[in-house]
Structure 1
Amino acid sequence: MKKISSRFSIAVHILSLVTLSTSPCTSDYIAASVNTNPVVIRRITGLLKKAGLVTVKAGTGGTYLRRPPEDITLLDVYRAVEVVEEDDLFHFHEHPNPDCPVGRNIESTLRADMHRAQSAMERELAQVTLRQVVSRIGETSKN
Structure 2
Amino acid sequence: MKLNTNLTVAIHTILCIAYFEKDYKVTSDFIASSTGMNPVIIRKILGKLQAAGIVETKAGVGGSSLAKKADEISLFDVYKAVSEEKEGERSVFNFHVNPNPKCPVGSKIHALLDQPLNDAQKALEEELKKTTIQDLTGRL
Whether TM-score is above 0.5 comes out as yes
* DSSP-derived class of the 2:56 partner: strand
After TM superposition, which residue ranges in structure 1, 4 or more long, deviate above 4 angstroms?
none
Matches within 5 A, 1:1-143: 2-21=1-20, 22=22, 23-85=24-86, 86-88=88-90, 89-137=92-140
Amino acid at match of 2:135: Q
The 1-side partners of 2:3 and 2:84 are apart by: 10
Amino acid at match of 2:99: P
Amino acid at match of 2:17: V
Give CA-to-partner distance per residue, 1:45-73, whole Å, 9 cap, x none.
11111111111112211101111010101
- Number of residue pairs matched? 136
Change (3 A) 1:94 1:36: closer
The 1-side partners of 2:51 and 2:10 are apart by: 13
The 1-side partners of 2:40 and 2:98 are apart by: 38
* DSSP-derived class of the 1:64 partner: strand
Give CA-to-partner distance per residue, 1:14-50, whole Å, 9 cap, x none.
1001111122211121111112322121111111111
The 2-side partners of 1:43 and 1:96 are apart by: 33
**TM-score, normalising length: structure 2:** 0.88
CA RMSD of superposed structures (Å): 1.5
When structure 1 is superposed on structure 2, of 75-84 and 125-134 the one drifting more is: 75-84
The 2-side partners of 1:30 and 1:81 are apart by: 17
**TM-score, normalising length: structure 1:** 0.87
The 1-side partners of 2:128 and 2:100 are apart by: 36
Consecutive unaligned residues in structure 1, runs of 5 or more: 138-143
Change (3 A) 1:35 1:108: same
Q: Which has the higher helix share?
A: 1
